[in-house]
């Protein structure tokens, strides 16, 4: 939620979904689950990360280059934080330019106040 314009919403019963501009950039399980968190990555990161233990192609989302962590400690915290920010940035970059501009203007107003 520290990312500009990020929102959260409970969806699909027991998932906390994080969005920017109405588009999902991360999904976390609210109840004990086989997956801890899922997020979008670059093609290179997808290939590298899915070779690591505890990191798998995200069910239903792997074709869109999403990975899922099977536990909180599947990646070091600093790396997971960096990858979540990258996911946010990847999704933000795919938003329509008009939406990006609108969100950018709101960020400017928020900083001015």
What's the CA gap between 54 and 9, in Å, rounded? 26
What is the separation of C-alpha 75 from the centre of its chain, rounded to a whole number of angstroms?
15
So what's the pLDDT on residue 101? Answer: 86
Q: What is the pTM of this model?
A: 0.82
Measured at the CA of 19, the angle between CA 5 and CA 54, to 5 degrees, comes to: 125
Q: Give the DSSP letter of residue 3.
A: S
3-state secondary structure labels for all residues of 50-84: CCCCCEEECCCCHHHCEEEECCCCCCCHHHHHHHH
So what's the pLDDT on residue 100? Answer: 85
Q: What's the CATH number for 6-112? A: 3.90.1150.30
Instruction: Report mean pLDDT in 10-residue bins for the chain, 113 residues.
Output: 82 88 91 88 96 94 95 93 94 89 60 40
User: In this structure, are residues 84 and 26 in contact, taking their beta carbons and an 8 Å threshold?
Assistant: yes
């Amino acid at each position: 939620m520290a990312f500009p314009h990020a929102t959260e919403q409970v969806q699909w019963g027991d998932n906390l979904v994080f969005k920017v501009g109405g588009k999902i950039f991360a999904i976390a399980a609210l109840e004990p689950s086989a997956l801890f968190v899922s997020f979008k990555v670059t093609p290179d990161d997808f290939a590298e990360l899915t070779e690591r233990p505890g990191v798998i192609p995200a069910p239903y989302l792997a074709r869109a280059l999403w990975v899922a962590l099977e536990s909180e400690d599947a990646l070091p915290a600093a790396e997971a934080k960096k990858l979540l920010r990258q996911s946010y940035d990847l999704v933000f970059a795919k938003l329509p330019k008009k939406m990006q501009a609108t969100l950018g203007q709101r960020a400017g107003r928020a900083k001015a106040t």
